[in-house]
Structure 1
Amino acid sequence: MSQPHILLLGAPGAGKGTQSSRIVEAFDVEHVTTGDALRANKDMETEYGTPRSFMEAGELVPDPVVNAIVEEALTSADGFVLDGYPRNLEQAEELDGMTDLDLVAYLNVAEEELVERLTGRRVCSECGTNFHIKFNQPAVQGVCDECGGDLIQRDDDTEETVRERLRVFRENTEPVIEFYRERGQLVEIDGEGTPDEVWGKLKTAIEAAQ
Structure 2
Amino acid sequence: MSHRILLLGAPGAGKGTQSAKLAEEYGVEHVTTGDALRANKDMETEYGTPRSFMEAGELVPDPVVNEIVRAALDEADGFVLDGYPRNLDQAEYLSEITDLDAVIYLAVDEEVLVDRLTGRRVCDDCGANYHVDFQPPEEAGVCDECGGELVQREDDTEETARERLQVFYDNTEP
Normalised to the residue count of structure 2, the TM-score between the two structures is 0.83
Question: What amino acid is aligned across from residue 94 of structure 2 in structure 1?
Answer: L
Which residue is 1:87 aligned to? 86
Which residue is 2:65 aligned to? 66
Equivalent-residue separation in structure 2 for 1:110 and 1:44 (angstroms)? 37
Question: What amino acid is aligned across from residue 8 of structure 1 in structure 2?
Answer: L
1:144 to 142, 145, 148: 142
Equivalent-residue separation in structure 2 for 1:167 and 1:84 (angstroms)? 16
Which residue is 2:172 aligned to? 173
- Aligned pairs for 1:58-207 (under 5 A) are 58=56, 60-124=59-123, 128-140=127-139, 142-144=140-142, 146=144, 151-174=150-173, 177=174
Whichever of the two has the greater Rg, that structure is 1
Q: Equivalent residue of 1:32, what SS? A: strand
Identity percentage of aligned residues: 65
Counterpart contact for 1:124–1:150, Cα < 8 Å: yes
Which residue is 1:185 aligned to? none
Question: What amino acid is aligned across from residue 26 of structure 1 in structure 2?
Answer: E
- Give 1:155 shift: 2.7
Stretch moving more, 126-135 or 100-109: 126-135
- Give 1:74 shift: 1.4
- Give 1:107 shift: 0.8
| Change in 2 beyond 3 A, CA 1:49/1:161 | closer
Equivalent-residue separation in structure 2 for 1:127 and 1:76 (angstroms)? 24
User: Which structure 2 segments of 5+ residues have no match?
Assistant: none
| Change in 2 beyond 3 A, CA 1:38/1:124 | closer
Counterpart contact for 2:8–2:104, Cα < 8 Å: yes
| Change in 2 beyond 3 A, CA 1:28/1:152 | closer
Stretch moving more, 35-44 or 76-85: 35-44
Equivalent residue pairs, number: 172
- Give 1:38 shift: 2.8
Equivalent-residue separation in structure 1 for 2:49 and 2:55 (angstroms)? 10
Counterpart contact for 1:33–1:84, Cα < 8 Å: yes
Equivalent-residue separation in structure 2 for 1:36 and 1:29 (angstroms)? 16
Counterpart contact for 1:54–1:60, Cα < 8 Å: no
Equivalent-residue separation in structure 2 for 1:53 and 1:14 (angstroms)? 26
Counterpart contact for 1:4–1:79, Cα < 8 Å: yes
- Give 1:121 shift: 2.0
